[in-house]
Amino acid sequence: MVESRTYDDAALSGTHFKWTLIASLGDFLDAGMLAGTGITLLAIGTLLNFTTLEDGLPALITLLGAAFGALTFGRLGDKFGRKFIYQLDMLIYGASSILLAITGVFPSRIFNIVWAMVFYAMVGIAVGADVPTSWSLITEFSPKNYRGRLMSITTIMWYVGVLVELGIAIALYNTGMILFRTIWIFLGLLAFVSWILRRDLTESPRFDMMRGNKTDLEKSAKKLHINISEEENKKFTIKKYKELFRNYGWFMLLAWFLYLMWGIPASTYGEFFPYIFSSLHLVSLRDTYAFEAVYFGSAIVPGLVIFYYLSDRVGRVPLYLTSAVMAAISFFLLIYPPFLKNVYVLLISFLLFGIGQGLGIWPTTRLLSLEHFPTSLRNSGQGFVWFTMRFEAGIFGLFTPMIVAFGIGYIGWIAGIFFVMAFVVVLFLYMFKPEYVRTERKSLEETSRDEVL
C-alpha cells in the first residue's frame, strides 16, 4: 500500500475498521446498559416490590453514573491518554455487571436494592468513562474524508447491542430473574473480552503528537501505512480546562443543545420502551420486545446505507434535518389518543423515530460534539457534554414512570417539540453560521482551531 504523508490524508484501510470496531464495543456496552436496564426492569421491580418512584431508580442511577463517569474520566483521558482510560473502564464494567447479576440472593429487600443501585452506578460510571474516550480515539485516527463513515460504525454498534439483548429477552421471555441475570452476566463477560482486544490498540496519534510520544506514534503510523516525517515533529498546544468554556463556549452550547434534544427522547425509549408500551396492554410483553427490536433495528439500515456513504460527501446537515422531521412526526403521533390503541400506527411511529435516528440525528450529534474541541480538551469537552446529557436524562428518567401514568401523550409532546427546536436551530446555523455544522472533509485542526506548534 502507498504510504500517506499524514493521518488526515491516509487511505481508508482494514486497520481503521478493525480499530473502530474494537473501540465501538463501548457503544455496544452502552446500549447494553440502557436496554438491559429497561428490559430487566419488570423482573427486578417485581422481585423487590418497587413502587412507581422506585421503578425510575435504575434508569436514574445508571444515567447519573454515566454522567459523572464522563465528567471525571473525560478530563483524565486528556491528561493520561485515551488508551489508559478505555482499558481501565472495561474492567470496572465487567466486574460491576456480574456483581449486579446476583441481586436478589440476599434476604433483605433493602440490602438488595442498595446492592443493585451501587452496581448500576458502577456500570454507568464505566460507560461514561469509555464512550467519550473511544469516540475521541476514533476521530483522532480517522482520515478527514472518512471521519463520518468511521463514526457511523459506532452508532451501528450501539443499535446492534440493543438487538442482541432483545434477542436474549425474546428467547427468555417470561423467565423473570433468569433474564435479568443472563443479560448482566453476558455484558460483564463481553466487557472482559473487550479489555483483552483493546490491549493491542495503540494510543491516539494526536495525543502522541501532543505529548511527544514518538515511539508509540511510529507504531500507529506503521500499521496505518503513514510516512510520519511531517507528523512526528508536530505538537499541539496544551490548553487549560477553563479554556473549554472561555474559548469554546458556543461550541459547548451547541453540543449540549443537540444532545439534550436527542438524548431525552432516545434515553426514554432506550430504558423505558417495554415499560411504556406494555402499559397500553395492546400486545404481550414478548411482542413489545419484538416492537422494540423493530424500532432499534430500523436505525441500522439508514446508518449503514445512507449516512455511512453520504455524510462525508453531501454533508451531515441535510441528513440531520430530514431525520429531525421524521422524529418529530414520530412523537406527535403519540399525542392523539386513538392512535395509542392502534398497533399499526404505533409501529409507524417506532419506524419513523428509528430510521430518523440512524439517518442523521444521532451520528451527526456525535460528530459535532467532538470535532470542535482541540486535542488537549477533546475528551474533556465530550465528557462535560456527556455529563450534562446523561444527568438530564437521568432526572427525566426518574419521573418517566409518573409521566407515563398521567399519559403517554405527554412523552409525545415533549419529544416532538424537542425535535422541532433542533430542526430550527441546525437550519439557522447551516444558513448563517455554517462553520458550526459543516465540518465534513475538514481536519480536526480546522474544525477546532487547534494550534499546531
Residue 373 CA: distances (Å) to CA of 232, 239, 305, 313, 445? 22, 11, 28, 22, 9
pLDDT attached to residue 84: 87
Q: Across the strands, what pairs with 452?
A: 236
pLDDT attached to residue 346: 87
Residue 13 CA: distances (Å) to CA of 134, 349, 442? 19, 38, 19
pLDDT mean values, one per 10 residues, the chain (453 residues): 75 93 95 90 89 84 93 93 90 97 89 94 96 93 94 93 90 90 97 94 90 86 82 78 92 94 85 79 82 87 89 93 96 90 88 91 93 94 91 84 87 95 97 94 89 68
Tell me how far apart the alpha carbons of residues 320 and 194 are, in angstroms, rounded to a whole number: 31
pLDDT attached to residue 234: 73
* 103 touches 116 (CB < 8 A): yes
Q: Which residue do the cell numbers 411504556 mark?
A: 276
Which residues have CB under 8 Å from 293's CB, separation 6+? Answer: 162, 163, 166, 167, 170
Tell me how far apart the alpha carbons of residues 238 and 241 are, in angstroms, rounded to a whole number: 10
Among 64, 373, 418, CA closest to 263: 418
Question: Which residues in 285-295 are b (16+ Cβ under 10 Å) and which e?
Answer: beebbbbbbeb
pLDDT attached to residue 453: 64
Tell me how far apart the alpha carbons of residues 356 and 247 are, in angstroms, rounded to a whole number: 33
pLDDT attached to residue 74: 93
Q: Is 313 exposed, middle or buried (0-12, 13-18, 19+ CB in 10 A)?
A: exposed
Residue 137 CA: distances (Å) to CA of 61, 69, 150, 208? 27, 17, 11, 11
pLDDT attached to residue 232: 66
